[in-house]
Structure 1
């Protein structure tokens, strides 16, 4: 045995006494291809629907709350099941959960194409989110399995491959509105869902044909070699054996988030003092508290380890991930309603305008990654957040006479700030927690992103609806105006349909547009406050060159 030859270990999953087995083939190229395509599909479906929202609203007759649920039904189920997906993949198998998720996503996409009702589109979007979580939650483990752990260079290769996959997914999410605009402009809004069908079939066929179930094979080999540790220990693969999938935790997560979102979204329509709204908000909050207590009681066996939030830097970076989506994709639907309903922009034109947010987000991500070579990562996070706050303040120049060009300065600066801070979320989440909790930490940070979108849509929508309706309450209507027409006016104003209002009354259109713009100004201020809070927290709690507190 030479000096450079590693000694065989009894626990090696590919060696048995007296003979040497050929290692299983490692389909790295195919694994990266299907993982990247799947990541694109699952992340882009959060944002691609934004520019199609006016067309969906007009075709299906959605209310403002219905339009919000078209977005949030996906985001909430996606976020709620994301943590469980990773645990399920360890128990049932990566490839199996990956394929089940694709089947759900494909079936739901077909349902979105065929449905013709508000309830149908919301229901199928929720099912899409469930499938998306199963797929997205297993993309990284499926890709990681393709690298041979016995190869000393595999760690660096795996890191580069995962970074490439996440980078592709991030770019797809940012450019989702432009892609959606192209599809709606060249066809109909159903195309944004129909495009998932051929891609999904291609990915499933490629997975079945070219990617073996490596995770199952290696578990069987480790079991045969006696390498699988007892529960509560860390096995050969580095996974924490204590954490367990919890059906009760999954139910509590989904029900509590849906109830809180329902209360926020429908509060204006049904009245904030409505018994059903108060009950929904109260029950949602109590169930989430029950989830926290339930998971804390399980300690190392918890599916969601809330003890991680005792680490100030982890809490800060998770908040930053949450806030970054609230002040970008969370408020974008309402700007799109204005672009379509007041300025009359087509879906493709809205996609072009939205690229002013996406392009700097991608470009400044590279700058943010480079900056940490010389500047502490907490400072980079803080600078990014302050740039975001400045960009949001630029939105206050909008008024009733503004055009789409007046939105560009805010979008450009907002995208630059988000690009600076967002690339470090995952690396920070891993750096500041114990090594045996890195998977859960990245899962929580990933979950914060779609939750930020969902809560942004809910909170901003409720605020905007309240401002518009408060303004309409003070208007002087003609005595002979039927109550039904006043109700239609309110719904049209909430949906940004000011050109339709102008056909009946230019005066009403101008007044309600003013209320809508005032509501947007309030949204910008709320988001800017969140950004400043994130900046201060980053400086105070994310210390040291790498954010761990070490110099």
Structure 2
């Protein structure tokens, strides 16, 4: 590939990554405007935010597999076209049902774009091209994270919330057309088919749990709707374990969860996301309905933590090398929980300066958690790190839906109690949101304790030595053996067949 063509490819992928990441954050600040214009309930409003995340996470692993099998360029462009078309439908929505349906389709399109785009900038590239592609990819996502709340607030205040989605049409169409000519096609010629049973089981599980949590606020824990959804989730998790245990090419390799560090890392990733996304969603409502901030001013509140995260993420790797992975992640979570608690203590009349300590702590704590994926992957054999990284990414995305749903259940229950005691709607919402954010802080603290108990003190050096030949294979065997030492009754590591011929471990390992 010529240097010019590679540059155009990076441009297309950067714009696509920016658009799909921005859609995850730009909506939150505009939620009050959407609720007011469409006259929808808080439960439906939660689905406007969570439906995108839920479908995105449910389909992303399958999207990566389809990109390998059917062509990365093809799946990337199909996903981007679907995302762009759904953005137009969301912008023209006149009801909650139409908007939620459009968000679902957007999430499915984004789930095809992200893994295919990441593969296009890394697979088959030189080291220099991989480095450039990774910087562009991460930079576009960080920029979307920083600008999302600000852009959403400005559009909601000065234009209309519909333009949050309609602005995707022109750049989406342009990069699809450009991508047809500049992106080279690539695929894994040795790849097997898509794990359809695993995809269906995992998607059903995630959907059922999130639906149940959202409906608790309206129907209560003992209602038939909620109990039925939890029952469906139980069936789905049993089916998922069964099909992934015996699938020739499992979408989720259950062997990974025998590693204490990996299992703990997934739990920490989810609990961090529960707190971060819960703050992002309910703080937007709190700032506008309690502190009476404008949408633009509300969006500007989330800019400092985004800048802090971008600036301190490189520092967090240095801190991890100095004091260890376990302490870095755990103390980062404690700082984040402290920031959430400070945010929960805000009262009517507080201004921008009163917000800064809390949002700064959230930013610093989140930055210290950025290296988590790298730390956890040191406990997994190198040849399987791609699949393991996908599981961690799904955990991060799913945590957004869970955070909004779990904290929403707490807020709704507390608000009903406050209203029953005779308090006004504004005071009830203020107290309920404070309690919800404090409970979210408690969940983040639980994540810190799990990090202390499960994560390695320092990353294993064997993972970074990268020798070649028999010595390299021996190091991998030793590393995999160490990850299974924590499992009772496991005496030795399983024989690891080649990546494309992965099979369930021997009975002695089970």
The TM-score bracket by the shorter chain reads 0.7 to 0.9
Which of 264, 269, 272 is matched with 1:321 structurally? 269
What are the Cα deviations for residues 386-416 of structure 1, in whole angstroms up to 9, with x where unaligned?
2112222323432355445433321111111
For 1:60, the equivalent position in structure 2 comes to 38
Distance 2:257 2:131 in 1: 26
- Between the aligned partners of 1:319 and 1:163, the Cα distance in structure 2 is 27
Partner of residue 80, structure 2: 102
- Counterpart among 118, 124, 128 of residue 106 in structure 2: 128
Kindly state the Cα deviation for residue 146 of structure 1 after the two structures are TM-superposed. 5.9
Task: Compute the displacement of 1:87 (Å).
Answer: 0.4
Counterpart pick for 1:356 among 304, 316, 322? 304
**Alignment-derived partner of residue 205 in structure 1:** 177
- Aligned partners of 1:167, 1:322: CA distance in 2, in Å? 23
Q: Are the equivalent residues in 2 in contact too, given 1:396–1:521 (CA < 8 A)?
A: yes
Q: Is the 8 A contact 2:10 2:133 kept in 1?
A: yes
How far, CA to CA, are the matches of 2:81 and 2:279 in structure 1? 31
Aligned to 1:451: 398
TM-fit CA distance, 1:117: 0.6
Which residue does 1:437 correspond to in 2?
A: 384
Corresponding position: 1:413 with 2:361: yes
1:186 paired residue among 129, 133, 158: 158
Q: Which residue of structure 2 lines up, in the alignment, with residue 262 of structure 1?
A: 211
Aligned with 1:463: secondary structure?
helix
| Structure 1 residue 156, shift from structure 2 partner | 5.3
Q: RMSD between aligned alpha carbons? A: 2.3
Which has the higher mean CA deviation after the structures are superposed, 343-352 or 104-113? 343-352
Q: Paired residue for 2:458?
A: 545
Tell me whether 1:282 sits opposite 2:231 in the alignment: yes
Q: Which residue of 2 aligns with 1:533?
A: 446
| Aligned with residue 88 of structure 1, among 55, 63, 66 | 66
2:256 alignment counterpart: 308
Cα distance in 2 for residues equivalent to 1:156 and 1:371: 27
Aligned to 1:520: 433
Query: Per the alignment, do residues 540 and 255 of structure 1 end up closer, same or farther by CA in structure 2, a change over 3 Å counting?
Result: closer
Q: Specify whether residues 550 and 194 from structure 1 end up closer, same or farther in structure 2 by C-alpha distance, changes over 3 A only.
A: closer
1:373, CA displacement in angstroms?
3.8
For the residues of structure 1 that align with 2:213 and 2:352, how far apart are their CA atoms? 29
Structure 1 196/548 Cα, relative in aligned 2: closer, same or farther at 3 Å? farther
Partner of residue 330 from structure 2, selected from 379, 382, 395 = 382
| 1:259 Cα deviation from its structure 2 partner | 1.8
1:412-468 C-alpha deviation (Å, 9 max, x unpaired): 11111101112x133224322112211111111111122111100111111100000
Q: CA deviation at 1:543?
A: 1.9
- 1:155 aligned partner: 127
The answer to whether the 8 A contact 1:31-1:146 is kept is: no
Structure 2 CA distance, aligned partners of 1:408 and 1:288? 42
Compared CA separation, residues 212 and 26, structure 1 to 2 (3 A): farther
Q: TM-score, normalised by structure 2?
A: 0.85
Separation in structure 2 between the aligned mates of residue 406 and residue 360 of structure 1, nearest angstrom: 18
Q: 2:170 matched to 1:170?
A: no
Q: Deviations over 1:53-101 (max 9, x none)?
A: 1111111111001100001110000000010011001110000000110
Assess, with a 3 A threshold, how the Cα gap between structure 1 residues 161 and 24 changes in structure 2: closer, same or farther. closer
- Report the 3-state secondary structure (helix = DSSP H, G, I; strand = E; otherwise coil) of the residue aligned with 1:303: coil
How far apart, CA to CA, are the structure 2 residues paired with 1:377 and 1:244? 37
Q: Structure 2: which 5+ residue stretches go unaligned? A: 465-510
The aligned residue for residue 472 of structure 2 is: none
Q: Which residue of 2 aligns with 1:369?
A: 317
Q: How many residues are paired up?
A: 464
Contact 1:75/1:453, CA 8 A, preserved across alignment: yes
2:501 match: none
1:144 — aligned with what? 122
Q: Distance in 1 between matches of 2:344 and 2:17?
A: 35
Supply the distance in 2 between the matched residues of 1:187 and 1:87 (Cα, whole angstroms). Answer: 40
For residue 6 of structure 1, what is the aligned residue in structure 2? none
Normalising by structure 1, what TM-score? 0.79
